[in-house]
Chains A and B, each alone.
Chain A
Amino acid sequence: MSASTVTQKSTAGPATAPHTLVAEFASADALVRACEQVRNAGYTRWDAHSPYPVHGIDRAIGIRATRLPVLIFLCGATGTTIGVLLQWWTNAVNAGVQFPWVPTFLQGYNFIISGKPYWSFPANIPVIFELTILLSAFGAFFGMLALNGLPQHYNPLLRLDRFRRVTDDRFFISIGLDDPKYGSATRRLLEGAGAAAVEIADDVKESAPPRWFLRAHVMLACFLLIPLAVIAYMRVDKQSQPRIHIVQDMDNQERYTAGKQMANDVFADGRSARPKIAGTLAREDFTQDPHYYQGRVGDQWATGIPMYHPELQRLAGGAAEVNEQLMRRGRDRYAIFCSHCHGLDGAGAGRVATYVVQREIGFVPPKSYADPDVLVRPVGHLFNTITNGIRTMAPHGDQIPVADRWAIVAYVKALQRAQAATIEDVPTEQRSRMTQPK
């Protein structure tokens, strides 16, 4: 049957034209023998088809060795190169940081890991190895498909019902009608070579896809561009609202807010707004009452104890002047905070000072309160010394409340007075006791 006498298989479908001559064979042996004959007859546009790779068919058809291995090698070499460069650039050089023209998202830098060398090749081998294998495998799979011209979802051969057995138990030779050697002898050749059946596969004449198909794809492509357009717009647009916070990462957590007067079971009084802790100082206090808090009046050291302050009056038992109760408080605090260096009498020979001085470890011993320099110091200066320290004396402002510091100052003044006292300073009724021999 020549091409001109082919009958149309389906009358309802699209117009078709003969395309390929297909010969069926019952066994792989018959196929290989027929292939040798077809090849010897000089055909060029033909192929054999079998359900499994038939041994010896390559030689029978004259298939040259594929270039696929070269392609795979090149892919593998690319993988190796990527593996080396990726790790070197991102972990082992500062080049990405040094060159300002490298965009931020591509900058690599030296990774400091346990003081190890930045470029330690053994540690880089696994990733290089895996990338080599990965890209080689891509080369093998996609290279095989590409060289075979797959995927090819339309094939005139698949229009033949007979040809469906090619994936089951039959063997075929297909010869294109456009083969230069194709003619009336072709069918005889195949039948002579042992073909069980010979048939012609038709191809659809009009191969352009329908218009609606193209339109649908153009519309789909346009729709797919919408998300990209939105992303591009968002990257340049200025927003007045903060970004949408999808993953909180503990950025916004539930909490007790003082302003809302929320109940809180943690505290006995049930309030989440806590009162000021005793002794807490507001920043304004320092500027609004420098006398009490800093011992200063204007640019000068204060010369009087700020007994106007309610806290000091509380220590003094309500009195607005220095009294014995305040002095006793001062002596009490002095014994705790000062006496170990300054001594109980203020002469500067406390246990700690004596001990440290003996060992000569760079310690400036405290001066006696009776020292002429110290004697003339105003109370504000003494208060400042307790608060902020002087020479090797540490600041005590964070240990002793303000009012207690003033009480100590008052007691120190008394000690000074005692150090430089004469018999005239003793009340008359007490003098007799002092002159009695012990």
Chain B
Amino acid sequence: MASIVHDRDNTIETPGRRAPLVTGGHDLHGVTEVVCRVAESRSAPGAWYLTMGVSAALLAALGAMIGYLFFEGVGVWGLNNPVGWGFDITNFVFWVGIGHAGTLISAILYLFRQKWRTGINRFAEAMTIFAVMCAGLFPGIHIGRVWLAFYLFPLPNQMAMWPNFRSPLLWDVFAVGTYFTVSLLFWYMGLIPDLATLRDRAKTKLSAFLYGLFSMGWTGSARHWHRYERAYLILAALSTPLVLSVHSVVSFDFATSVLPGWHTTIFPPYFVAGAIFSGFAMVVMLAIPCRALFGLKDLITLRHLDNMNKVILATGLMVGYAYTTEFFVAWYSGSAWELFAFKARAMGPWWWSYWIMFSCNVFVPQIFWFRWARTSIPVMLVVSVLVNVGMWFERFVIIVTSLSTDFLPSAWDTYWPTWVEAWTMAGSFGLFFFMFGLFCKFLPMVAISEVKAVLPHDAHAGGAGGHGH
């Protein structure tokens, strides 16, 4: 019953009826075809090969940089005393933040019954996993004697040596480790029915074997679906507090110290809002080329992007509010060091990084107040890139400005990354895009069974997608 106008542009709000979640009038088989076509095609778009080539080269650079770092030691980085954290921890916090959108979409929006999440949750979850992999890399390689990295974990050993459980750095190990594991389980569990779809359509022996192996013999049994849905709901309920805890714990790394600019109670909510902000920007940034290249525009519709841009606008406002509050509290606290730290951020030697952060994160997303901007592909592409730039600089500003100018002027020093750090950072993007490229080509990019459940096919469809028709 969908009107022609609706089928073409589902961002239009018509009172009395719901906008369709899937455009193009696809039925069940149509959805299967659209998604599986990508994995089954023997070739890929030229842009995919280009992306894989560039990211593979960057990945190789990452391997080389890490090898050089391990061989020579952390002296090849520009860190010093007092700036003991630089690009490494900036990148760690950046990537962990990126990862937050995936779990937010898959868990929190699921609990809020936001049916539109089905179009984007799969690749947002994949993005989460690859981002957390990139994030986990940096604390792992920055510890100096990497062969002792197992000291991070409470492993029984002959030295009877245990980690300090009152340190936020250890909480990080548990928070990020749990986050990665749970995200992976969540993602993989969602993949099982779709891998079964690919298994049942497989043309070659190898793909039949591999998809069959990982789909675990799924037959869509109603009894299986019953437990599966219950497990999915509970995983969503578990992931929701988890996703809020992870960036809170990351912010504790800073907030529990006494350094001016770090020692603030606003950090946990502010970090979580920023993480969702940057994560959604990354989802938009990845969704735009993916839906165009792989023909997914009917499943990842303009309305999905419109919704995500609204989330970006909302979280961007939260982040802007946090920036302002930080300044207010620095003044209101009457602490000379605190006020100095914030003045130094905005007007000190790193002023330009502060204003890149502020402009990209607070001013730029304001354009999303306008519907034309939220539904314009070029505008949202530019905004999402700028938001990611701004959020990277947020972490850089927090870490470097606070460390470089602490209490004693005699202890101040500046920081500048070396070429090794720059290439390591570029290499982490290579890792991310390489993994994401593999995912796009070989795994179902959209949750097939979940989209089918919200298709308006008949009254017994598994969700609210059928309601209102």
| Chain A residues near B (Cβ < 8 Å) | 27-29, 32, 35, 47-58, 61, 63, 66, 68-69, 72, 86-87, 90-91, 96, 104-109, 111, 113, 116, 120, 123-124, 126-127, 129-131, 133-134, 136-138, 140-141, 143-145, 147-148, 150-155, 157-158, 163-169, 172, 246-247, 249
Contacts and interface: CB of A to CB of B under 8 A. Distances in A.
Contacts of A147: 227
B193 interface: yes
B458 interface: yes
A58 B226 contact: yes
Contact of B227 (A55, A66, A120, A127): A66
Given A55-B463, A150-B224, A153-B212, A141 B449 contact: no
Contacts of B167: 113
A28 B449 CA distance: 13
Contact of A53 (B178, B181, B182, B225): B225
B195 to A, nearest CB: 9
27 contacts: A28-B458, A49-B222, A51-B220, A52-B220, A54-B222, A54-B460, A72-B231, A86-B165, A90-B163, A104-B160, A105-B158, A116-B166, A126-B171, A126-B245, A130-B175, A130-B242, A133-B178, A134-B181, A137-B186, A137-B238, A141-B188, A144-B230, A148-B228, A163-B219, A167-B218, A168-B197, A247-B147
B28 A137 contact: no
A58 B174 contact: no
A35 B231 CA distance: 24
A65 to B, nearest CB: 8
Contact of A51 (B197, B238, B241): B197
B162 interface: yes
Contacts of A52: 193, 220, 225, 449-450, 452-453, 462
Contacts of A152: 216-217
B459 interface: yes
Contacts of A68: 227, 230-231, 234
B28 A51 contact: yes
Contacts of A138: 185
Contacts of B448: 51
Nearest to A172: B220
B216 A28 contact: no
Given A123-B166, A130-B174, A249-B145, A144 B231 contact: yes
Given A52-B450, A130-B174, A69 B222 contact: no
Chain B interface: which size bin?
35 or more
A126 B219 CA distance: 39
A126 B249 contact: yes
Contacts of A49: 219-222
A29 B165 contact: no
A362 to B, nearest CB: 39
Contacts of B196: 167
Interface in B125-153: 145, 147
A137 B162 contact: no
A247 B71 CA distance: 11
Given A144-B189, A249-B145, A108 B174 contact: no
Given A105-B158, A111-B164, A144-B228, A153 B449 contact: no
B197 A133 contact: no
Contacts of A57: 222, 225, 460
Contacts of A123: 165-166
A154 B238 contact: no
B329 interface: no
B213 interface: yes
Contacts of B413: none
Interface string B230-246: 11001100110110010
B interface SS class: helix
A104 B200 contact: no
A108 B408 CA distance: 38
B45 interface: no
B32 interface: yes
B201 interface: yes
B382 interface: no
Interface string B427-469: 0000000000000000000001110110001111111000000
A155 B196 CA distance: 13
A32 B226 CA distance: 15
A136 B222 CA distance: 24
Contacts of A51: 28, 32, 193, 197, 220, 448-449, 452
A165 B32 CA distance: 10
A365 to B, nearest CB: 45
B222 A48 contact: yes
A428 B238 CA distance: 113
B157 interface: yes
Contact of A168 (B29, B164, B462): B29
B217 A137 contact: no
B29 A169 contact: yes
B3 to A, nearest CB: 24
B46 interface: no
A391 B469 CA distance: 107
A55 B460 contact: yes
Contacts of A32: 460
B162 A143 contact: no
B32 A169 contact: yes
Nearest to B28: A169
Interface in B165-213: 165-168, 170-171, 174-175, 177-178, 181-182, 185-186, 188-189, 193, 196-197, 199-201, 212-213
B17 interface: no
Nearest to B168: A126
Contacts of A136: 234, 238
Nearest to B235: A140
B200 A166 contact: yes
A48 B193 CA distance: 15
B164 A91 contact: yes
B42 interface: no
B245 A48 contact: no
